[in-house]
C-alpha cells in the first residue's frame, strides 16, 4: 500500500469490456480522493500492473478472458499484495460472492450500477485505508481498537430511524427493515411479499429509510420499461 492517509488513492480498472472499463474509469475520476493509474482487460495484465507498484485499489471484474477475477484476487493475496479490491461484476452467484468475501475483497458491486453506487463503495474503502495509514497506527506498526473498528466498519447496523412520518408505525418499520436486511437487496414488491403488505406501503417505508440514511437505493435497468428501484441496508 503506497497511498497516504489523505490519498489520492490510485485505482487500477480491470474489465474485459473496453467501453465498460472506460465508464468505470470516468466514475473513479469523478470521485474526490481517487485517480486512475491504469486500465487493463485481462487477469494477467492486472497481476503485472499491480506487481509494478503504485496501485492502492483494484476494481476487478470476475469474468475475464484468461483468468477469473477470483483467481486474480487469490493470487494478489497469495503474493502478499495489500491493495484493496472492489469486485465489480455481473456475477451474482452465491459461490462467487463467498469466494470474494473469503478471498479478501473489501466490496462487491453488481453491474449495472450508478456512479453513486461506486462512489459509495470507494469512499468506504478510502475510510478503511486511511484508518490503517493514519495516526491510529503507532511506530511499531500496531493499531488501537478505535482504528480497528474504523477499518472493519465498526458501527453497528442502523436501527429504525427514531422519527417516522405520520402513518408509519415503528413496529411495521422494524419488520420492513428486518426483511430488507435478511434479503440483502430487494425491491418494494419483494419486501411487501415478505412482510405481507401492499407494494405502495412497503415503498413508503423503504423511501423513508433511504431519506434517513438507514437504507440505500440503486436503479436496475431492464430491457424495457422503467428501471426498478432496488433497496439495501448500508
Q: What is the pLDDT of residues 164-179, one digit of tens each?
A: 788 888 888 888 888 8
| Single pTM value for the model | 0.61
Residues whose CB is less than 8 angstroms from the CB of residue 64 and which lie 6 or more positions away in sequence, other chains included? 14, 16, 41, 42, 43, 46, 72
Residues whose CB is less than 8 angstroms from the CB of residue 143 and which lie 6 or more positions away in sequence, other chains included? 131, 132, 136, 137, 151
* Residue-wise burial string across 190-219, b where 16 or more C-beta atoms lie within 10 A, e elsewhere: bbbebbebeeebbbbbbbbbeeeebbbbbe
pLDDT of residue 11: 97
83 within 8 A of 58, measured Cβ to Cβ: yes
**pLDDT beyond 80 at 13:** yes
Task: Say whether 138 sits in a helix, a strand or coil.
Answer: coil
147 within 8 A of 153, measured Cβ to Cβ: no
pLDDT of residue 137: 47
Please indicate whether residue 56 or residue 128 has the higher confidence score (pLDDT): 56
Reported as a pLDDT band with limits 50, 70 and 90, residue 153 is low
Interior angle at CA 176, CA 194 and CA 108, nearest 5: 85
Q: Smallest Cα–Cα separation from 8: which of 46, 42, 45, 34?
A: 34
- Mean pLDDT, residues 184-191: 91
Taking the C-alpha atoms of residue 150 and residue 191, their distance in angstroms, rounded to an integer, is 31
pLDDT of residue 42: 97
Cα distances (angstroms) measured from residue 98 to each of 30, 95, 175: 30, 5, 27
* Bridge partners for 86 per DSSP: 59, 107
Q: Domains plus CATH for the chain? A: 9-151 (3.40.50.2300), 170-232 (1.10.10.10)
Q: Smallest Cα–Cα separation from 72: which of 25, 40, 95, 94?
A: 40
Residues whose CB is less than 8 angstroms from the CB of residue 42 and which lie 6 or more positions away in sequence, other chains included? 16, 64, 65, 66, 67
17-26, 29-38, 143-152: segment of lowest average pLDDT: 143-152
Q: E strand or H helix at 231, and its extent?
A: strand 228-232
* Bridge partners for 213 per DSSP: none
Taking the C-alpha atoms of residue 192 and residue 174, their distance in angstroms, rounded to an integer, is 13
- Average pLDDT across the chain, whole number: 84
Pairing of strands 9-14, 34-40: parallel
Reported as a pLDDT band with limits 50, 70 and 90, residue 22 is very high
Amino acid at each position: 500500500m503506497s497511498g497516504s492517509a489523505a490519498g489520492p488513492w490510485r485505482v487500477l480498472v480491470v474489465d474485459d469490456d473496453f467501453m465498460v472499463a472506460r465508464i468505470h474509469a470516468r466514475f473513479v475520476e469523478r470521485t474526490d480522493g481517487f485517480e486512475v493509474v491504469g486500465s487493463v482487460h485481462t487477469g494477467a495484465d492486472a497481476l503485472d500492473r499491480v506487481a509494478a507498484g503504485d496501485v492502492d485499489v483494484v476494481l476487478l471484474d470476475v469474468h475475464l478472458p484468461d483468468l477469473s477475477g477470483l483467481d486474480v484476487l487469490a493470487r494478489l493475496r497469495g503474493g502478499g499484495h495489500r491493495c484493496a479490491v472492489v469486485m465489480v461484476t455481473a456475477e451474482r452467484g452465491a459461490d462467487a460472492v463467498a469466494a470474494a468475501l473469503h478471498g479478501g475483497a473489501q466490496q462487491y458491486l453488481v453491474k449495472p450500477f450508478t456512479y453513486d453506487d461506486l462512489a459509495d463503495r470507494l469512499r468506504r474503502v478510502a475510510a478503511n485505508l486511511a484508518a490503517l495509514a493514519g495516526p491510529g497506527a503507532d511506530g511499531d506498526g500496531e493499531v488501537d481498537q478505535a482504528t480497528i473498528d474504523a477499518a472493519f466498519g465498526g458501527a453497528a447496523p442502523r436501527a429504525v430511524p427514531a422519527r417516522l412520518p405520520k402513518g408509519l408505525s415503528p413496529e411495521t418499520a422494524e419488520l420492513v427493515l428486518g426483511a430488507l436486511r435478511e434479503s440483502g437487496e430487494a425491491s418494494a414488491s419483494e419486501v411487501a411479499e415478505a412482510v405481507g403488505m401492499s407494494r405502495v406501503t412497503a415503498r413508503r417505508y423503504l423511501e423513508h429509510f433511504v431519506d434517513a440514511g438507514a437504507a440505500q437505493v440503486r436503479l436496475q435497468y431492464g430491457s424495457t420499461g422503467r428501471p426498478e428501484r432496488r433497496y439495501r441496508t448500508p
